[in-house]
Chain A
Amino acid sequence: KEFKIAVGDGGGGTQEALGKAFISALEEKTNGEHTASLFLNGQLGSEQDTVNDAAIGTLDFSILAINNITPFSPSVGTLTLPYVILSLEDAEKVTQGPIGQELVENTVRDAGVRIIGWAYSGFRVLTNSAKPVETVEDLDGLVIRVPKNEIMIATYKSWGVNPTPMAWSETFAGLQQKVVDGQDNPYITVYAMKFDEVQKYVTNLRYLFSIEPLIVSEAVFQDMSEEEQQAVLAAGQEATEFSAQFLRDKEAEIKEELVSRGMEITDPANDEAEFISLATEAVWPQFYDSIGGVEKLNEVLTELGRDPVE
């Protein structure tokens, strides 16, 4: 059978890489009996639409940003709180360990879709065209574009900035025309979108680590034979491992290229301590209810070897 995989992003990014890796693994594990085709760029609808479609069983697979699953399965939101994940290793640990397993089960129960693989896109670094940003104070006076996302908006507010929500399709022009000074996105996106043409300064913020799950419709999954299910899960696992390696190789390469094109990369002062304390103190409590209680957050923090919060 030829499955359909919806992909939110265009070609060349983490999502497509995960999709391709998944397809070749799937073909290999089913001896060419099953394959799939990717529909890039939201051709099959917006990322949130694809969750509904998969839940109803009218779509087989989808690769999308994790915050587009959160509305359907709130506990996933834990991974989208600022500064929960502080490294790629953290991300691998939470998504592939027992916490990840619990999230998969919750998502099957709440949203009718099963997460079978994870793409890692890296931290959303801040870029801007005005000045190097090293401290929270440096953010003062910058107009930052964010997607229409409550958590991200709240985080910037905790740093004393009122960000401007702007549609993705308008962002490049907005940066170019200086309607907004800056935005945040993973290095891979910054590079793919050629943001270096309109932005000069990069700050290595770590407030959000972009994770892009590969989901399968639970209805479609349950219609498969035991063997097919195993093949799909194994292909997902293989694609996940591929994605982590892809990020490690790609990010280093891209940073170098961006610097050679004239971008200046800055690390936040004092190991980001001020950013972290402002954001975690102000933002986390606002979202305890929506992620299903402070316990959910503490489970993750404990798993990562950090101190739980009150």
Chain B
Amino acid sequence: MKTFWTLLNNFESYFCRILLAVFVSLLFVQIVSRELFDYSFSWIEELSVYMFVWFVFFGASYAAKKSAHNRVTFQFGMLPRSWVKWIEGFADLFWIFFNVYFVYLAYDFVFNRMNKFWKSQTLGIEMKWIYMVLPIAFALMTFRVLQVNYRVLVKGEDIHDPDKIDLDEVRQEMKQGHDDPGGRVG
């Protein structure tokens, strides 16, 4: 049960990793086939671009979950950390407002405004299905913003800043391997 929730809670992460691996591989197939066999698959570019768009917006939701979206913070240098998180929490209300409004716009666009004939050029998929990423991913992102603020403000958690490159991790990667002339690091 616990693993199920962990899986679900990292849904964007898994989904995006799969999308990324697939579109990168598709593009590689295209290059190899073009260079070696003089043959291009006409659908690869379009399919990979659409997968990329899904990857991006679900990735943005994942970034929200990791509290990774850049803010300008120098002005908070003098303030205690406990104040800053409430100020940022307040600023996030604008984010939620924007996202909710955007989800409404995207829903309206996809279901009511969008041209019913509009299909993708080479795959022939209705563009409606491809645009569905917008309402879904922004709704999910809104949930993530609420989730992060709940964790920070209510539960008092300190969310690790993903931009701080984890030096231990880099160190680990630099060290491993058999022909490293050890002892150079640290």
Contacts and interface: CB of A to CB of B under 8 A. Distances in A.
Check if A and B associate: yes
Interface of A: 51-52, 55-56, 71-74, 110-112, 143, 148-150, 153, 162-165
A71 B119 contact: yes
Given A143-B38, A153-B42, A52 B114 contact: yes
Contacts, number: 47
Nearest to B119: A71
A30 to B, nearest CB: 30
A111 B114 CA distance: 9
A165 B45 CA distance: 8
B117 A74 contact: yes
Given A148-B122, A150-B122, A162-B39, A71 B117 contact: yes
A110 B115 contact: yes
A164 B45 contact: no
Contacts of B117: 71-74, 110-111
Contacts of A73: 117
6 contacts: A51-B115, A52-B115, A55-B115, A71-B121, A110-B115, A165-B40
A165 B42 contact: yes
A162 B40 contact: yes
Contacts of A165: 40, 42, 45, 122
B171 interface: no
Given A55-B113, A165-B40, A165-B42, A148 B34 contact: no
B121 to A, nearest CB: 5
B118 interface: yes
Contacts of B42: 148, 150, 153, 165
Contact of A72 (B109, B113, B118): B118
B157 interface: no
B110 to A, nearest CB: 11
Nearest to B116: A110
B82 to A, nearest CB: 44
Interface in B27-45: 34, 38-40, 42, 45
Interface string B4-35: 00000000000000000000000000000010
A156 to B, nearest CB: 10
Contacts of B34: 164
B88 interface: no
A72 B119 CA distance: 8
Nearest to A113: B115
Contacts of A71: 115, 117-119, 121, 127
B47 to A, nearest CB: 11
B113 A149 contact: no
A112 B40 CA distance: 36
A150 B45 CA distance: 13
A164 B40 contact: yes
A149 B43 CA distance: 10
Contacts of A163: 40
B38 A162 contact: yes
Contacts of A149: 121
B38 A112 contact: no
Nearest to A141: B38
A74 B118 CA distance: 9
Point out which of B42, B113, B119 has the most chain A C-beta atoms below 10 A from its C-beta: B42
B113 A56 contact: yes
Contacts of B45: 148, 165
Nearest to A74: B117
Closest 5 CB pairs of A and B: A72-B115, A164-B40, A71-B118, A153-B42, A148-B121
Point out which of B39, B40, B46, B127 has the most chain A C-beta atoms below 10 A from its C-beta: B40
A163 B119 CA distance: 22
Nearest to A70: B117
Contacts of A150: 42, 121-122
Contacts of A111: 115, 117
A71 B121 CA distance: 8
A173 B46 CA distance: 21
A73 B117 CA distance: 7
A165 B40 CA distance: 8
A128 to B, nearest CB: 15
